[in-house]
């Protein structure tokens, strides 16, 4: 059984690779970039394993690392292009599975989610796709919990307006 932080991180990485790759794809919308993000996340996690707190969840820590690497890359790209510091442009893509009807509806919703502002897309992904609690999403994104709630409310309102399904969300009650 692993006892040192490096051993814990190394042992846990394999279990989270698919989820990290999916988040990398959400952020970059490119498979090759998602691969690079996951590789950089693994390297950084192993290099900084001593900073991992055993009482925290490894997946949340890894999401935060990947998110930080992505933001740094976007900022560097914007600077190289002479645009200065701006928010990352993220795209949420999701292959609907299961029933054909559900898949069609999911694809329509995902197209609408792609048009949300970056901050809302990232928040929607972490809370509704990855199942993070508001506090966990706030920690990953480095924002207050109220910002998470505000982003989700704005995203739900926009999506409801675009899809004609506006109304109160019962999912929200379960996330607090």
Q: Which has the higher per-residue pLDDT, 145 or 74?
A: 145
pLDDT at 83: 52
What number is the average pLDDT over the span 143-157? 92
User: How do residues 8-27 score in pLDDT, each as one tens digit?
Assistant: 888 888 889 898 988 888 88
Residue 35 in tokens = 């691969």
Residue 173 has pLDDT above 50, yes or no: no
pLDDT at 162: 75
pLDDT at 145: 92
d(CA 176, CA 136): 11
Sketch the domain layout of the chain as residue ranges.
1-89, 95-176
pLDDT at 126: 86
pLDDT at 39: 92
Average pLDDT, the chain: 76
Q: Which has the higher per-residue pLDDT, 30 or 150?
A: 150
Q: What is the DSSP string of 59-110?
A: HHHHHHHHHHHHHHHHHHHHHHTT--S------------SSHHHHHHHHHHH
| Domain over 95-176 is classified CATH 1.10.10.10 | yes
pLDDT at 80: 62
Q: 49 in helix, strand or coil?
A: helix
pLDDT at 85: 43
φ, ψ of residue 52 to 5 degrees: the values are: -70, 130
Question: Do the beta carbons of residue 60 and residue 132 sit within 8 Å?
Answer: yes
Q: Alpha helix locations (H) across the chain?
A: 5-28, 31-47, 58-80, 100-114, 118-124, 134-141, 145-163, 171-175
User: How do residues 44-102 score in pLDDT, each as one tens digit?
Assistant: 999 988 888 878 888 889 998 998 888 888 777 766 665 544 444 443 334 444 445 55
pLDDT at 6: 80
Spelled out in words, what is the top-level CATH class assigned to the domain 1-89?
mainly alpha
Cα pseudo-dihedral 156, 90, 142, 157, rounded to 10: -10
């Amino acid at each position: 059984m692993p006892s040192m932080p490096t051993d814990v991180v190394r042992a846990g990485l394999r279990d989270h690779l698919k989820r990290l790759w999916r988040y990398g794809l959400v952020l970059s919308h490119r498979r090759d970039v998602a691969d690079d993000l996951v590789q950089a996340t693994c390297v950084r996690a192993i290099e900084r394993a001593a900073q991992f707190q055993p009482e925290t969840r490894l997946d949340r820590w890894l999401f935060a690392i990947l998110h930080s690497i992505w933001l740094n890359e976007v900022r560097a790209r914007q600077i190289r292009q002479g645009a200065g510091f701006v928010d990352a442009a993220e795209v949420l893509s999701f292959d609907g599975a299961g029933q054909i009807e559900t898949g069609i509806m999911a694809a329509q919703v995902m197209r609408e989610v792609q048009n949300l502002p970056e901050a809302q897309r990232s928040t929607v992904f972490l809370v509704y796709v990855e199942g993070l609690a508001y506090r966990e999403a706030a920690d990953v994104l480095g924002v207050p919990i109220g910002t998470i709630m505000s982003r989700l409310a704005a995203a739900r309102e926009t999506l409801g307006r675009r899809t004609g399904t506006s109304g109160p969300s019962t999912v929200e009650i379960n996330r607090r």
